[in-house]
Amino acid sequence: MNFENILVELKENLAVITINRPAKLNALNKNTIAELHDAFKALDLNTSVKAIIITGSGEKAFVAGADISEFANYSIEEGTELARKGQELLFDFVQNLSTPVIAAVNGFALGGGLELAMAAHFRIASTNAKMGLPEVSLGLIPGYGGTQRLPQLVGKGKAMEMIMTAGMISAEEAKEWGLVNYVVEQEELLPLCEKLASKIIRNSSTAIAAAIKAINANYTNCINGFAVEIEQFGVSFNTNDFEEGTTAFLEKRKPNFE
């Protein structure tokens, strides 16, 4: 896969996507969002890929925000379409991807950058990472799911504070509030993500996809998450991975999932 603004590396069952716009601190523009969509879609369809890591190039920024120069003169209609299309192509798409996505937050994750990290299934940060949603300082609000996902992760009060003050929090604060799972030195970031990915890869991809669907259902309006869990639990009984997993357990050996 050849792209202008991102790099994709395959390591056996693991894929690493790197947003590669260092001169712009990896800011998201329309082309980068489209490329990320295409990369995630292709990797999700690749049955050999069992986990995906998303990170930014360099040591300063994961994604420092959206490319403001692209939409500074937008109308109401254009702004609405920008948010709608962005959520559909990338942010909601990543959240609902059947392949697990880990965000390796290697620096500034601001605005659309934090929204992309929050769309991933979980996040690991380097010690120098700073996170925030500064949109109100531009006369905007977060438009790529930030007003919804941030309260889900850190609670309503802290999300209100972060969004209304437009301030940044440190990696350690993000860990304290449940926004990231671990904080490590920069050089340890990708190795830890790869270690966690290797644990994921050993398990059933079909079961993990079902778990993602069930967990996300709890955060979807008008959807009964418990009902989705029951449904996905039942469906699992008709999979090759269930047969292999239970057989391996009874035979006291490690499973060999497809």
What positions carry a catalytic annotation?
A: 115, 135
Round to whole Å and give the CA distance between 38 and 56: 17
Backbone phi and psi for residue 134, each to the nearest 5 degrees, phi listed first: -90, 15
Q: Which residues contact 225 (CB under 8 A, 6 or more apart)?
A: 214, 215, 217, 218, 219
SS3 at position 123: strand
SS3 at position 250: helix
Length of the chain: 258
Strands 130-132 and 168-170: antiparallel
Q: Which residues contact 208 (CB under 8 A, 6 or more apart)?
A: 98, 100, 200
